[in-house]
């Protein structure tokens, strides 16, 4: 592509409605105030923006949906590029693959793949962006069978610091593909990815909700079950304090409830149903659920299981990878997030790991996770609850779970840029840095490199 073909990008300045639109993000508690903002609607516009940023001597930052806007580093004087690339999701059913332009959300991938009886290793929310989730690891309700989502990255198309477009594959640049897989970002602007799909005609999925008072028995039962659970099942245990909002079932609002949700996807639907019954049967016998949405459905039903907010909300949160919940873990967890704990969190989640999450896939900077559970907690800084309250509560959770904290984190689950985080060990982080230095010697994209991936 020649320079003359590149259209000049519109550079939106603070104070204009276009700037407000270009800097709007999913997390309403995040401060996104770059020097100026560009919305790229073609690869050529991405190239122009990269060159403009390089000429200006400022860093270039990239956001898709801004679901992680509270976790990325402050924008300072950098330029912001939003990706809204055209073309839509292209499914190649024979190769079980999908080509996905940057700016696409997972709901669009699920919708494109489902008619072929295929699914992708997406997260709980259809509104999350494909690129940010995928490059950050990606913890899916298919993960104990399929592994971290980053292992499903086959190829990426990237605009690098000199403005050129590179297609990164195992054959062309295995080192950069390795670094893109969980290396913490900051290599360039991804304009499209090619990902694996897998057969999933029917999935057993949903959530079962009980009053918060039953939390101890239910968490005991769920965590014991996770010890021998089939790989087809990936679930989470949640303590929720949901407000009355559109999309929140009234029976769950304004009180503490606990929930076991997730998905079971086996080759044989009957096997999936049996596996779900093996978990839910004993839990249901501990107490009458307030609501039970588990059912057999097409893969699109998995996006409804977790009750994620469909529209932007403010939140502040934290994340840990936990070794286990043995010997007092249940009491320690509920002591800080349970019904009588005074927790300001809207949701405190333990995601079930193990299975294929713990196994290596193709070469990846971060392709597997140690630890049995991923903790995520988040709450809205609204009403009497302040950002400081939520941060202080995050420290209390860390103190209560300190003995079980692996000290490691998953980029896609990190909720704050300045909290403790470490995705990679030292040698891996140094190897990732060498790849960054090769493709971006001036550090144009350095602001997007996750702090948890630095040596
Ligand atoms: C409601 C909700 C549900 C979630 N569920 C899950 C879940 O089930 N599993 C899970 O693992 N995570 C989950 N997450 C976390 C989510 O995966 C991360 O926030 C992820 O980073 C979001 O990606 P994004 O592109 O939408 O976000 P953004 O905030 O736009 O981007 C996140 C990061 O990706 C980088 N990035 C985005 N686009 C590009 C691009 N084109 N080129 C280069 N870099 C880019 C950005 O620079 C940034 O560092 C959830 C988050 C929320 C708020």
Measured from the Cα of 69, ligand 1's closest atom is: 29
Q: Residue 133 contacts by C-beta under 8 Å, 6 or more apart in sequence?
A: 67, 106, 122, 123, 149, 412
End-to-end CA distance of the chain: 36
**Burial of 34 by CB count in 10 Å (0-12 exposed, 13-18 middle, 19+ buried)?**
buried
Residue of minimum CA distance from atom 7 in ligand 1: 123
67 Cβ closer than 6 Å to some ligand 1 atom:
yes
- φ/ψ region of 439 (left if φ > 0, alpha if ψ in -120 to 50, else beta) reads alpha
Q: Which of 27, 53, 129 to mutate to test the pocket of ligand 1 (most atoms within 8 A of CB)?
A: 129
Question: Domain limits of the chain?
Answer: 3-83, 90-199, 203-413
Whether 214 and 258 have beta carbons less than 8 Å apart is answered as: yes
Per-residue pLDDT of the chain (455 residues), as tens digits, is 434 445 667 999 999 999 999 999 999 999 999 999 999 999 999 999 999 999 999 999 999 999 999 999 999 899 999 999 999 999 999 999 999 999 999 999 999 999 999 999 999 999 999 999 999 999 999 999 999 999 999 999 999 999 999 999 999 999 999 999 999 999 999 999 999 999 998 899 999 999 999 999 999 999 999 999 999 999 999 999 999 888 899 999 999 999 999 999 988 888 888 989 999 999 999 989 999 999 999 999 999 999 999 999 999 999 999 999 999 999 999 999 999 999 999 999 999 999 999 999 999 999 999 999 999 999 999 999 999 999 999 999 999 999 999 999 999 999 999 999 999 999 999 999 999 999 999 999 999 999 999 99
CATH number of 90-199: 3.30.465.10
189 Cβ closer than 6 Å to some ligand 1 atom:
yes
Q: Domain 3-83: state its class.
A: alpha beta
Question: What is the residue whose two structure tokens read 């100026």?
Answer: 36
Residue of minimum CA distance from atom 51 in ligand 1: 67
Measured from the Cα of 188, ligand 1's closest atom is: 43
Radius of gyration of the chain (CA): 21
Q: How far apart are the C-alpha atoms of 123 and 297, rounded to whole Å?
A: 17
- State how far the alpha carbon of 301 is from the alpha carbons of 201, 250, 297, 352, 417, in Å: 11, 20, 6, 19, 32
Residue of minimum CA distance from atom 34 in ligand 1: 132
Q: Which of 63, 182, 185, 366 to mutate to test the pocket of ligand 1 (most atoms within 8 A of CB)?
A: 63
Whether 215 and 400 have beta carbons less than 8 Å apart is answered as: no
Q: How far apart are the C-alpha atoms of 226 and 181, rounded to whole Å?
A: 27
Q: Say how many Å lie between the CA of residue 195 and the centre of ligand 1.
A: 16
Measured from the Cα of 105, ligand 1's closest atom is: 26
83 Cβ closer than 6 Å to some ligand 1 atom:
yes
Measured from the Cα of 190, ligand 1's closest atom is: 42
Residue of minimum CA distance from atom 18 in ligand 1: 412
Q: Say how many Å lie between the CA of residue 127 and the centre of ligand 1.
A: 10
Q: Say how many Å lie between the CA of residue 76 and the centre of ligand 1.
A: 20
Q: Say how many Å lie between the CA of residue 63 and the centre of ligand 1.
A: 9
Q: Residue 177 contacts by C-beta under 8 Å, 6 or more apart in sequence?
A: 153, 155, 156, 168, 169, 170, 363
Predicted pLDDT at 4 = 44
419 Cβ closer than 6 Å to some ligand 1 atom:
no
Q: Say how many Å lie between the CA of residue 177 and the centre of ligand 1.
A: 18
Pick the CATH number of 203-413 from 3.40.50.10490, 3.30.565.10, 3.40.50.1000, 3.40.462.20: 3.40.462.20
Whether 65 and 28 have beta carbons less than 8 Å apart is answered as: no
139 Cβ closer than 6 Å to some ligand 1 atom:
yes
341 Cβ closer than 6 Å to some ligand 1 atom:
no
125 Cβ closer than 6 Å to some ligand 1 atom:
yes
Q: Say how many Å lie between the CA of residue 72 and the centre of ligand 1.
A: 10
Residue of minimum CA distance from atom 47 in ligand 1: 62
Q: Say how many Å lie between the CA of residue 66 and the centre of ligand 1.
A: 7
Q: How far apart are the C-alpha atoms of 336 and 397, rounded to whole Å?
A: 6
Bridge partners of residue 39, in order along the sequence:
82
Predicted pLDDT at 7 = 63
Q: How far apart are the C-alpha atoms of 82 and 103, rounded to whole Å?
A: 8
């Amino acid at each position: 592509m020649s320079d003359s073909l590149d259209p000049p990008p519109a550079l939106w300045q603070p104070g204009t409605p276009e700037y407000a639109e270009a800097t709007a993000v999913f997390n309403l508690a995040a401060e996104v105030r770059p020097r100026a903002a560009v919305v790229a609607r073609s690869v050529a516009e991405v190239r122009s923006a990269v060159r403009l940023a390089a000429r200006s001597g400022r860093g270039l930052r990239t956001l898709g949906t801004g679901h992680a806007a509270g976790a990325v580093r402050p924008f300072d004087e950098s330029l912001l590029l939003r990706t809204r690339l055209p073309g839509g999701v292209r499914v190649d059913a024979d190769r079980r693959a999908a080509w996905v332009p940057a700016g696409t959300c997972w709901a669009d991938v699920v919708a494109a793949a489902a008619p072929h009886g295929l699914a992708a290793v997406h997260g709980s929310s259809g509104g999350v962006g494909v690129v940010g989730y995928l490059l950050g690891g990606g913890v899916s309700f298919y993960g104990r069978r399929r592994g971290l989502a980053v292992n499903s990255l086959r190829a990426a198309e990237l605009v690098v610091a000199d403005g050129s477009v590179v297609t990164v594959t195992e054959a062309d640049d295995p080192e950069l593909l390795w670094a893109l897989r969980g290396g913490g970002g900051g290599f360039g602007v991804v304009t499209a990815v090619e990902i694996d799909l897998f057969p999933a005609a029917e999935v057993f999925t949903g959530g079962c909700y009980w009053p918060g008072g039953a939390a101890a028995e239910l968490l005991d039962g769920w965590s014991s079950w996770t010890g021998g659970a089939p790989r087809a099942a990936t679930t989470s245990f949640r303590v929720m304090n949901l407000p009355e909002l559109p999309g929140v079932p009234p029976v769950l609002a304004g009180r503490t409830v606990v929930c076991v949700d997730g998905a079971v996807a086996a080759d044989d639907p009957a096997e999936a149903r049996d596996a779900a019954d093996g978990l839910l049967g004993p839990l249901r016998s501990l107490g009458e659920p307030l609501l039970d949405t588990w059912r057999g459905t097409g893969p699109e039903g998995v996006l409804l299981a977790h009750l994620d907010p469909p529209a932007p909300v403010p939140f502040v949160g934290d994340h840990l990878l936990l070794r286990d919940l043995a010997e007092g873990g249940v009491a320690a967890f509920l002591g800080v997030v349970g019904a009588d704990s005074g927790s300001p969190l809207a949701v405190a989640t333990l995601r079930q790991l193990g299975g294929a999450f713990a196994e290596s896939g193709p070469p990846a900077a971060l392709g597997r996770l140690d630890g049995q559970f991923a903790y995520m907690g988040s709450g809205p800084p609204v009403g009497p609850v302040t950002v400081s309250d939520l941060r202080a509560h995050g420290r209390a959770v860390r103190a209560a779970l300190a003995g079980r904290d692996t000290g490691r984190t998953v980029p896609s689950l990190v909720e704050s840029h300045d909290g403790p985080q470490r995705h990679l060990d030292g040698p891996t982080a140094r190897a990732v840095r060498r790849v960054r230095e090769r493709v971006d010697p001036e550090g144009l994209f350095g602001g997007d490199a996750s702090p948890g991936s630095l040596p």
